[in-house]
Amino acid sequence: MPVCRRGTPIESQDTESMLTFPKGGAHPPEFKEQTAGLSIEVMPVPDELELILGQHIGAPCTPTVARKEEINEGALVGEVKRGLGVPLHSPVTGKIKAIGTSAHPMRVTAPSLTIGVDHEADPVQYPEQDWQSFDGSELLQKVNDAGIIGVGGAGFPTHVKLNPPAGSPVDILLLNGAECEPYITSDHRQMLEHAAEIVGGAGIILKILGINECYIGIESNKQDAIKVMTAAAEQASTGDCSIKIETLQVKYPQGSEKQLIQAITGRKVPAMALPSAVGVVVQNVSTAKAIYDGVVYGKPLYEKVVTIAGKGINKPANLLLKVGTRIKDIVDYLGGLEPGLSKIIMGGPMMGFAVSSLDIPITKTTSAILFLTEDEIDTSPHSQCIRCGWCLEACPMGLEPKEIGIYVEANRAEDTEPFGVFDCFECGSCAYVCPAKRPLVQFVRLAKMKAKRP
C-alpha cells in the first residue's frame, strides 16, 4: 500500500463553522513555524539592485532612463508603451549602471536595469493625503500610477482588475489572506503588523468599484491574524461599507481565486471565465496594503515582504526588501547557506519555481525564497501511473491530470484539451498526492504549449 500523501485531517479544525471549497484539495505539512513568529525585518539596501523590466503579465516596460543617469527613490524608470502593464519605479536613489539583461526565475534571462545605490541619499518623504477626497476614477488612476500589480500571484495589473467589464457588474470584494502554501508567512505578518492599512486598502477598492461589501478570508491556522484583522475591520466598517473576516479551513489550495470565491460566496466561476463573471473581485491582502501606500502616500510599489525559510539558510526571516535585491545579497545578510542545501525555490513548494542562480533578483510578485535541504524534498524518481485515481480526487477543478500525463508521455500533448488542461491553474495538488510521484504539473505545462486553446 503506498503512503498516502493526501495528508491527515486537521483534528483541531471545527469544519462545521469554517468555510472551504467543495471539491478536491490536499493537506501538505505547513512548515510555517520557522518564520510565523518572526516580525518583518528591514534588510539594509545592498550596493546594487537588478530591476527586471517585466515585473507583470504582458510585455516588459521600456526604460525611461539612460545609462549613468542619476535617479531618485520612487522615480519612474520604465513604462509600458502599449498593451497591458504598469509603470516601474526606482526602489532607491542612485545611478543607472547598465541597461541589459538579468538572470530570471522562469526565463533564462530578462531585460533589466542595474542600479548603483547612493547610500548617502536622504530617504524620500511621502506626505499623507486624504484618500476620501478623491473620486473612484482618481483613485483608480493613482493605483495605476503607483505601479501596483497582484503581489501574491502572477502579477496582473491591479488597475485593470479594479475596472471590470461593463457587462459584469461586481457586488463583492474578497481579500485573500489564506496564505495556504507551506512555509510562506509574509501575508500573515502583514496582517499582524499592518492590519489598519490592509483594511484601509479594502475601503479604497470598495470606493473604486462603487460597492460596499468586503470579506477577508483567512485560514484558521492564523488565529492571531484573525483577531487583529477582525478588530481593524470592525473599526473600518461604517454605515456605508461592511468589511468582515471569514475563517477558512486549512486546506490547499484555499487561496486560489476560484476556490476562495466558492468557499466564501458559494458562487462558482465558470471554466475559462474571470471572477467578475460572478460579480466578484479578488485581491491579495498584501496588494491591498500596496494600494493603501500608493494612494494615501503616493508611494509606488517597490518594496516587498518576502519569507526566507528552509533548513538550507542560516537564519530564516520575513524581510522587507527592495524589489531588485539579488538572492546572493539576501543569503549574505542572513549568514550564508547551510550544509546539505539541495534546492532553492522562488515562491512556495507547491507553485514556486526552482532557481539555479543566486544572481536572480526578487520581483514585485516574490513572496518567498526557500532554501531546502535533501531531507526537505523528495528526489525519488517517478514511475508509471498505477491508476489509483488520487489525483482526480485531489484536483479542485475536477480535471483529469492522470490522462494529461499519459497523453503527454505518449507524445499526444496536443490531444489533452478535453481533459481540461486550460482550466488547470497549476496548483500541484495532483502531483503532491500521486503515489507514483508523477510530475503532473510539468506534464500540464508541456500540454498547454502544444494543445489548441478552445
Q: Footprint of ligand SF4 on this chain (CB under 6 A)?
A: 385-391, 394-395, 397, 399, 401-402, 405, 424-430, 434-436, 438, 440-441, 444
Name the residue nearer to ligand SF4 (CB basis): 58 or 435. Answer: 435
Name the residue nearer to ligand SF4 (CB basis): 53 or 406. Answer: 406
Name the residue nearer to ligand SF4 (CB basis): 163 or 429. Answer: 429
Contact (Cβ atoms closer than 8 angstroms) between residue 284 and residue 205: no
* Minimal distance, residue 251 CB to ligand SF4, in Å: 13
Name the residue nearer to ligand SF4 (CB basis): 111 or 152. Answer: 152
Name the residue nearer to ligand SF4 (CB basis): 278 or 395. Answer: 395
* Residue 90: all three cell numbers together: 526606482
Nearest to 389 by CA among 435, 343, 441, 347: 435
CA angle 289, 294, 295 (to 5 degrees): 100
Helices (H), 268-335: 285-296, 327-333
Name the residue nearer to ligand SF4 (CB basis): 214 or 427. Answer: 427
* Minimal distance, residue 21 CB to ligand SF4, in Å: 12
What count of other Cβ atoms lies within 10 Å of the Cβ of residue 132?
9
* Minimal distance, residue 439 CB to ligand SF4, in Å: 10
Nearest to 344 by CA among 312, 315, 299, 319: 312
Name the residue nearer to ligand SF4 (CB basis): 168 or 442. Answer: 442
* Minimal distance, residue 356 CB to ligand SF4, in Å: 23
SS3 443: helix
**Phi–psi pair at 265, nearest 5 degrees:** -105, -15
d(CA 56, CA 53): 9
What Cα–Cα distance (Å) separates residue 337 from each residue in 37, 323, 427?
Answer: 21, 22, 28
Contact (Cβ atoms closer than 8 angstroms) between residue 9 and residue 25: no
* Minimal distance, residue 256 CB to ligand SF4, in Å: 8
* Minimal distance, residue 410 CB to ligand SF4, in Å: 14
Helices (H), 63-135: none
What Cα–Cα distance (Å) separates residue 363 from each residue in 90, 104, 282, 366, 386?
Answer: 12, 10, 21, 5, 40
Identity of the residue numbered 328: K
* Minimal distance, residue 164 CB to ligand SF4, in Å: 24
* Residue 63: all three cell numbers together: 526604460
* Minimal distance, residue 260 CB to ligand SF4, in Å: 14
Name the residue nearer to ligand SF4 (CB basis): 95 or 382. Answer: 382
d(CA 320, CA 204): 24
* Minimal distance, residue 35 CB to ligand SF4, in Å: 25
Name the residue nearer to ligand SF4 (CB basis): 330 or 424. Answer: 424
* Residue 248: all three cell numbers together: 477558512
